[in-house]
């Protein structure tokens, strides 16, 4: 907040100042087989201040996980009677205007739960099988990931005011296409409540 004020004071011609800080962030997790691991994430803090206005503060996370494709799974099941599909690495980004009650660790959990499965830096074979199995039991499109993140945010933070901005984004690094799939929604808590 003080940095945005200093920027506006230093640059009289500016009507708005925006400052963003990002960092690598590590959390202890447990693999499906129960092995302790430390997993990397990205966290972000942002402040936006218009001249003469209040400072809006945001907190955000970037989480890598996995999605399994529901469409291919359904088509293969119809044709072959088996539930196979392709999967891809997914990057979920979740940013929310923060009144001080939103925690980055909670946002990471929301993003991980929204995907087909979390991923891990290092896995033994038993863990690999479980991660793939979980993903294929919970197939998701990128838009499903976005919807699920927003649903969880609404449940986790019902006290946030209607004007609170929420940005949810999901990008899958497609394994069978030459392009990536992306879904994003910029909304407010009020819109989500409708």
161: CATH: 3.10.270.10
- Residue 41 domain-assigned? yes
- Residue 46 domain-assigned? yes
| Residue 122 host element (H or E) | none
Q: Are 153 and 192 a contacting pair, CB within 8 Å?
A: yes
Q: Are 97 and 42 a contacting pair, CB within 8 Å?
A: no
E strands, 121-178, where?
A: 165-173
Per-residue pLDDT reduced to its tens digit, 129-138: 999 999 999 9
| Residue 23 host element (H or E) | strand 16-30
Q: Are 174 and 180 a contacting pair, CB within 8 Å?
A: yes
The pTM (predicted TM-score) of the whole model is 0.92
Per-residue pLDDT reduced to its tens digit, 141-159: 999 999 999 999 999 999 9
- Residue 56 domain-assigned? yes
The rounded distance, in Å, linking the Cα atoms of 159 and 150 is 15
In terms of residue numbers, what domain contains 180?
Answer: 19-193
The rounded distance, in Å, linking the Cα atoms of 142 and 15 is 36
Residue 184: strand, helix, or coil: strand
Structural domains counted in the chain = 1
């Amino acid at each position: 907040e003080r940095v945005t004020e200093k920027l506006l004071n230093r640059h009289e011609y500016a009507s708005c100042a925006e400052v963003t800080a990002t960092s690598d962030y590590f959390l202890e997790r447990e693999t499906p087989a129960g092995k302790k691991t430390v997993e990397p994430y990205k966290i972000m803090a942002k402040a936006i201040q218009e001249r003469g206005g209040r400072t809006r503060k945001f907190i955000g996370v970037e989480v890598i996980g996995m999605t399994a494709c529901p469409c291919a799974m359904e088509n293969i099941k119809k044709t072959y009677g088996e539930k196979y599909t392709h999967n891809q690495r997914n990057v979920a980004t979740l940013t929310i205007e923060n009144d001080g009650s939103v925690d980055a660790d909670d946002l990471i959990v929301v993003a991980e739960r929204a995907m087909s499965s979390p991923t891990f830096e290092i896995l033994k074979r038993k863990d690999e099988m479980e991660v793939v199995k979980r993903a294929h039991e919970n197939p998701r499109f990128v838009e499903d990931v976005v919807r699920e993140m927003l649903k969880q945010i609404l449940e986790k933070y019902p006290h946030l005011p209607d004007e609170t901005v929420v940005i949810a984004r999901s990008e899958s690094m497609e394994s069978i296409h030459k392009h990536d799939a992306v879904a994003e929604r910029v909304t407010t808590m009020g819109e989500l409540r409708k």
